[in-house]
Amino acid sequence: MMDFISDIQNYVFLQKALFTSIMVGIICGVIGCFIILRGMALMGDAISHAVLPGIAVSYMLGINYLYGAVFTGLLTSVGIGFISQNSRVKNDSSIGIVFSSFFALGIILIAKAKSTIDLTSILFGNVLSVRSSDMWMTLIIGTIVLLVVILFYKELLVSTFDPTFAASYGLPNRLIHYVLMILLTLVTVASLQTVGVILVVAMLITPASTAYLLTNRLSVMIVLSAAFGAFSAIIGLYFSFEHNLSSGAVIVLVTTVLFLIAFVFAPKQGIYWRSVRIRKNRNGVITRKKESFE
């Protein structure tokens, strides 16, 4: 661990990698809370995959890949909504249809783009190759995401918890939904280098779910989720650097370990304490019965 710290002091590429992955951990954690509470985990998976053709087309046109990614990301969420509202096809099926089509299209377009971009690094990330420009983009995206969540926290909370009530006093639920979809696409793009398209969904869902098991307050859940995301990024980066493993995969496995700990030991929701409470309760009933006999 000491070596790792001195390496961070010595190597700029490692500093960039660390900063970027912490930022990604935080914003994925924050947006992830809203994604899981809205029951949109699959949608998060879909949008992260669907940015692929957008990135390819951006390279062909020579523009920043952010624009293409946001465009195809939004197109996916609109397309999914359109199919499930205008046919009997259920929501999860239309998510499956739309995102796999976009992903397939992306694979072909990336190959056709014949540029320096490498499909593997988009799919799985390569955090040690983060450039300064990527780092700045992550910082800007992170700032935008955090600002929107802080400014509209109230509105996000109420439209997530009770959308009918929100609509009854005039909140534009549909607009809020698409703003969240834009943020989700931005977060995906920011995460490309760190964990890659395929594993972004884990960064969105796992830390948020861990936090969900530990608290009854949304504000606390968001802070915890961001902390778990950042912590996983640091530990994951350490292991991937020391043992030469894929950074995205290691970071995701760290989030999984945190989740499993919460799943078993969370004070109220954890299966361990639950079984303890049930046993206590049962024994309590037996002792009370014994006492009443005596």
Which of 34, 212, 228, 238: binder of other proteins (CB under 8 A)?
A: 212
Q: What is the 3-state secondary structure (H, E, C) of 114-173?
A: CCCCCHHHHHHCCHHHCCHHHHHHHHHHHHHHHHHHHHCHHHHHHHHHCHHHHHHCCCCH
From CA 182, how far away is CA 179, in angstroms rounded?
5
Which of 12, 133, 154, 244: binder of other proteins (CB under 8 A)?
A: 154
Using CB under 8 A as the binding criterion, the count of chain residues that bind other proteins stands at: 23
147 is a site residue for other proteins (CB under 8 A) = no
Query: By C-beta, is 7 or 155 nearer to other proteins?
Result: 155
**Among 14-22, 67-75, 155-163, 245-253, the segment contacting other proteins (CB under 8 A):** 155-163
Question: For residues 209 and 39, is the Cβ–Cβ distance under 8 A?
Answer: no
Tokens of 112: 């056709």
Contacts of 51 (CB under 8 A, 6+ apart): 68, 69, 72, 73, 106, 185, 188, 189, 192, 197
Site for other proteins in 220-249 (CB under 8 A): 220-221
Q: What angle do CA 65, 69, 75 make, to 5 degrees?
A: 150
Contacts of 231 (CB under 8 A, 6+ apart): 25, 254, 258
Residue spans of beta strands (DSSP E) within the chain:
none
Pattern 35-74, binding to other proteins, x per CB under 8 A?
--x-------------------------------------
From CA 291, how far away is CA 168, in angstroms rounded?
56
Query: By C-beta, is 169 or 293 nearer to other proteins?
Result: 169
Which of 168, 290, 291, 293: binder of other proteins (CB under 8 A)?
A: 168
**Among 7-15, 74-82, 217-225, 246-254, the segment contacting other proteins (CB under 8 A):** 217-225
Provide the minimum distance between the beta carbon of 224 and other proteins in the complex, in angstroms, as a whole number: 10
Site for other proteins in 78-107 (CB under 8 A): none
Which of 3, 92, 162, 242: binder of other proteins (CB under 8 A)?
A: 162
Site residues for other proteins per CB under 8 A: 37, 151-152, 154-155, 157-158, 160-162, 164-165, 167-170, 212, 215-218, 220-221
